[in-house]
Chain A
Amino acid sequence: MEGRGPWYLTYRRLRSNRFALAALALFLAIGAFVLAAPLWADWVAHTGPNETHTTEKIEVGGEKREVVNSDGTPIGPVWLDAGGRFFLGADGRLGRDEMVRLMYGGRTSLAIGVGATVITTLLALALALLAGYYRGWVDTAISRVLDVVWAFPVMLLGIALGTALAISGIDIGPLTISGGSTWLPLLIIGFVLVPYMARPLRGEALALREREFVEAAEAQGSGPLRVMLNELLPNLLPTAIVLATLNVVNAMLLEAGLSFLGAGVQEPDSSWGSMVAEGVEVLATTPLLTILPGLMILLTVLAVNVFGDALRDATDPRSKVHLESHTGSYEPDRRAV
């Protein structure tokens, strides 16, 4: 192990953690599942996520069956008996293919979970670097703004932004997004979660700023940008990566909650959260429509949680990053102090 960098050590520790590998495999499997959506839709189910089959009949194992019964109950899972069509049954009165919707809905959910996290991470790193490098009033200003956004309950902030913007969309300068676009929940979630990552990172950046190697770099004539990008950033990255992994969980759960309430992904697009919302309407007759998308959220979040915790243990067994991503606390990482 001598002479190996910290990244290699992290990799070694992760590789020997069976739970982490299983979680990663589960996440990749879910990723492959949603990426295969167009393949399944075109080649197996021969339908799209929003195509309705209300009055159609399909042949299940030789007998003709209605996709939607006359009383409005959709057909249940028929597995491969109809040649792959309606593998998991139909989704209610409209008779859309549940399997296809589950795959396409997952694309939205994962895209928002990961996309919002990318936005949160970039913003949080930029703010932490600025606050950590310049300290003084720059830090005070950034911290106060973060404090206010952090004090605002995320769900309420998401609901307020989600409904107000869903009515009108955004039209600020060059940025134009229509009200029904999936970019809206993605941007909103990316924005409201920033304090949860920026506050811990800022604490760490401030502590790193005091270290000798920063002084050495400045003595060699490094300017602000160089110190931030070459000295502070590489040392912030391990924490940022772990926080980002766990942030995917927060983003996905927030998306599920917002879409469930109608303040997230808008019709005709769907996500696992909005599918649960539709399913709950007919919970008593077709519980599967609620359980399936809900279970997909659970499995994804579980995989990311287990992998994120393992990643944290592998980078620094003593850190409390999971707690920080939950509370967005200021407690700086003790390793950096």
Chain B
Amino acid sequence: MARFILRRLAGMVLVLFAISLIVFAIFVVIPSYDPAEAIAGKNSNPQLVANVEETWGFDEPLPVQYLTMMKLAFSGELVSYSSEANVTEQIWEGLPATFSLCIGAAVIWLLLGLLLGYIAAVHAGRPADRVLTVLAVIGISMPVVLLAPACLYFLAIQTDLFPTGGYVPLSEDPLEWAYHLVLPWTSLAILFAGFYSRVLRSNMLEAMEEDHVRTARAKGLTERQVVTRHVLRNSLIPIVTLFGLDFAAALAGAAIVTESVFNLQGVGQYAADSIANLDLPPIMGVTLLGAFFVVLFNTLVDLAYAYLDPRIRLGESAR
């Protein structure tokens, strides 16, 4: 296990390095703009551009520019020149809202997806399964850009059932916190809930064909015991990896849209506002830190998975 962890961590460091190179290339090397001018943003003037040029060292060779950019990003000195705000501080302020949104949504999609998948698998082929299949396919196909505004309009603007947006910190008022997040959570969770119900259903149906399940039935276990102890347990293992990937994907993807529709003032909305203003430093910061977080998180999930399922780490070291 120790060897596996070391190898996995070494791989992670390499990927992080490569990702930082890609971010540098995207913002500085590939575009045909003058980077100092682009980074200065919409309030650009010759004095500011010269200032940026100096801070970012754009007259230096590329490797030095790369190091300067990383130093700015990771020492918390990255500044947005159009809003004159420190990027790291802004990201830091947005984190509670973003994590509240993503963790809550993840709990909902896991519970809902697994419950519906379980019901569909147990009733495979019967009407309940058919109805759930149709619902799941619609859920999987539901674009967040439709679901979030539709929830907002029909459940908040028209009917006043829920607040129309905004974020209330958990520490301030837990009830209001949850009340304000119900719609964003739902908007973000539906797509994944549909997908997880499909995955669990097909995993369970597959597991039901296995020999050990037949043995369990043959030795006289009740159907419920067979399904929960022998089928469900094995079917849940692949969900762990999938969940790791999707949680990260939601955090660095659909959450950005959801946050800006519901005005949650999280990191995603900060990114969305910066895109609208073509303000590059915040986009750099969010991209870089977001990608780093996702890679770190996925490594942790991989390690957890290897711990749960010895076949993974043994297979890896045998190769």
- The answer to whether residues A160 and B283 also contact, given A257-B253, A280-B261, A287-B153 and a CB cut-off of 8 A, is yes
B32/A159 in contact, CB under 8 A? no
10 shortest interchain CB distances as A-B pairs = A294-B146, A155-B253, A153-B252, A168-B33, A171-B32, A168-B31, A302-B141, A301-B141, A148-B18, A160-B287
- The answer to whether residues A151 and B283 also contact, given A160-B27, A161-B26 and a CB cut-off of 8 A, is no
In A258-301, the 8 Å CB interface with B consists of 260-263, 273, 276-277, 279-280, 283-284, 287, 290-291, 294-295, 297-298, 301
- The answer to whether residues A168 and B32 also contact, given A151-B295, A153-B252, A153-B253 and a CB cut-off of 8 A, is yes
In B124-158, the 8 Å CB interface with A consists of 137-138, 140-146, 149-150, 152-153, 157
Does A219 reach chain B (CB closer than 8 Å)? no
Does A327 reach chain B (CB closer than 8 Å)? yes
Residue of A nearest to B138 (CB): A302
* Shortest distance from the beta carbon of B272 to any chain A beta carbon, whole Å: 5
Can you list, as one digit per residue, whether each of B268-291 has a CB less than 8 Å from chain A (1) or not (0)?
A: 000110011010100110110011
- The answer to whether residues A159 and B271 also contact, given A280-B149, A305-B137 and a CB cut-off of 8 A, is yes
B280/A163 in contact, CB under 8 A? yes
B278/A156 in contact, CB under 8 A? no
Does A103 reach chain B (CB closer than 8 Å)? no
Does B110 reach chain A (CB closer than 8 Å)? no
Can you list, as one digit per residue, whether each of B4-38 has a CB less than 8 Å from chain A (1) or not (0)?
A: 00000000000100110011001100111100001
State in angstroms the CA–CA spacing of A302 and B298 once bound together: 29
A164/B18 in contact, CB under 8 A? no
Could you say which residues of chain B place their CB within 8 Å of the CB of A253? 143
Q: Show 10 residue pairs from A and B whose CB-CB distance is below 8 angstroms, ordered by the A residue.
A: A147-B15, A164-B26, A164-B31, A171-B32, A249-B141, A261-B276, A276-B145, A283-B157, A301-B141, A327-B242
State in angstroms the CA–CA spacing of A154 and B142 once bound together: 18
Does A229 reach chain B (CB closer than 8 Å)? no
Does A122 reach chain B (CB closer than 8 Å)? no
Can you list, as one digit per residue, whether each of B46-57 has a CB less than 8 Å from chain A (1) or not (0)?
A: 000000000000
Does B256 reach chain A (CB closer than 8 Å)? yes
Q: A-contacting residues of B (Cβ < 8 Å)?
A: 15, 18-19, 22-23, 26-27, 30-33, 38, 137-138, 140-146, 149-150, 152-153, 157, 195, 198-199, 202, 241-242, 245, 248-249, 252-254, 256-257, 260-261, 271-272, 275-276, 278, 280, 283-284, 286-287, 290-291, 294-295, 298
Residue of A nearest to B32 (CB): A171
B278/A167 in contact, CB under 8 A? yes
Q: How many A residues, CB 8 Å from partner? A: 56
Cβ 8 A contact of B143, one of A148, A262, A298: A298
Could you say which residues of chain B place their CB within 8 Å of the CB of A169? 31-32
B145/A273 in contact, CB under 8 A? yes
B256/A261 in contact, CB under 8 A? yes
- The answer to whether residues A256 and B145 also contact, given A156-B287, A167-B278 and a CB cut-off of 8 A, is yes
A290/B26 in contact, CB under 8 A? no
- The answer to whether residues A148 and B142 also contact, given A159-B275, A306-B137 and a CB cut-off of 8 A, is no
Could you say which residues of chain A place their CB within 8 Å of the CB of B286? 156
* Shortest distance from the beta carbon of A137 to any chain B beta carbon, whole Å: 16
State in angstroms the CA–CA spacing of A43 and B2 once bound together: 72
State in angstroms the CA–CA spacing of A249 and B278 once bound together: 28
State in angstroms the CA–CA spacing of A148 and B290 once bound together: 14
Could you say which residues of chain A place their CB within 8 Å of the CB of B138? 298, 302
A153/B145 in contact, CB under 8 A? no
State in angstroms the CA–CA spacing of A274 and B296 once bound together: 33
State in angstroms the CA–CA spacing of A39 and B199 once bound together: 43
Could you say which residues of chain A place their CB within 8 Å of the CB of B199? 323
